[in-house]
Amino acid sequence: MSLNVIPLTGSIGAVVGGVDLNKPVDKETFEHLHKAFLQHCVLVFRDQGIGPEAQTAFGKLWGEPAQQGNPLLKDLFVTPEIIKITKIPKETASTEAWHYDSCYTPVPPKISILAAVTVPRGGDTMWCNQYEAYDRLSPTMQRMIQGLRVKFVGLRLARMMGADDKELPTAIHPLVRTHPETGRKALYVGHPETAQQIEGMTKEESRPRTCRGADDSRACRASPSECAGSVETTSVRAPPRASSSGAAAAQVVFPTPPLPA
């Protein structure tokens, strides 16, 4: 097979063809995928029909599976590495907001690998290029937010899962994170209920900075695939240095053909 990578938008996402992820991926092919991933942030592999075993094997090429690091996901596992996410009413879905996966854990995953099982016609899943969101800030704003640290809380997912909100997972991470491989800076922000407060500031003082970051993220969004309904996902843990320097979140997506109308 001849690997090919086609950009989906001007700022984020690419479709990858010429590879069967149900079969072992050789070193040379993975090196090309890794390079494309760093460049495009979201890779879409169409018509794969990938199963849990192949999904896990592919995930392990990128790093150590990290699902067990999020206590709120403990009831969703279908294998030790994979959780199953089914369609949830929008009004109660924690994902109905810009977010990084498991950002409220001490070492968030660097990659989430989504494999669509059942997909409706259409879809509204979106991704943001947080490099672009940071780059579009003025130099003065970039200096103002450099060094700030944000408290992230798993409130929205806990609410969706019916978990006790008195013992919510919480972590503090830099508002501006530097990717350990590309060296590029990215915003690390989210919904106000998740990115709740900047360290050393009140929530009221924090809100203009975290919300401004979220607004800039909206300006850099894209919807490169129809990925809703039932999805199986595995996350890959970031290397230890990422707990301090950070990495821009990204996705690998396996969409399937939509259901008939």
Distance CA 199, CA 167 (A): 20
- Considering the domain boundaries, does residue 146 fall inside one? yes
Give yes or no for a contact between 168 and 104, defined as CB atoms under 8 angstroms apart.
yes
- Considering the domain boundaries, does residue 154 fall inside one? yes
pLDDT in the model for residue 243: 32
Nearest to 37 by CA among 117, 99, 102, 127: 127
> What is the average pLDDT value for the chain, to the nearest integer?
75
Instruction: List pLDDT tens digits, range 222-238.
Output: 544 433 344 555 555 44
Distance CA 108, CA 123 (A): 26
Nearest to 19 by CA among 10, 8, 11, 37: 37
pLDDT in the model for residue 31: 95
Domain count, the chain: 1
- Considering the domain boundaries, does residue 43 fall inside one? yes
What CATH number is associated with residue 201? 3.60.130.10
pLDDT in the model for residue 142: 94
Domain with 237 in it:
4-254
- Considering the domain boundaries, does residue 260 fall inside one? no
Distance CA 254, CA 16 (A): 10
Instruction: List pLDDT tens digits, range 7-26.
Output: 998 889 999 999 999 999 99
Distance CA 65, CA 168 (A): 22
Nearest to 127 by CA among 261, 255, 260: 255
* Number of neighbouring beta carbons within 10 Å of residue 257: 12
- Considering the domain boundaries, does residue 259 fall inside one? no
Which range, 80-84, 152-156, 178-182, 189-193, has the best average confidence (pLDDT)? Answer: 178-182
- Considering the domain boundaries, does residue 74 fall inside one? yes
pLDDT in the model for residue 18: 93
Q: pTM (2 decimals)?
A: 0.78
- Considering the domain boundaries, does residue 186 fall inside one? yes
Reading the block at residue 72, the tokens are 């709120």
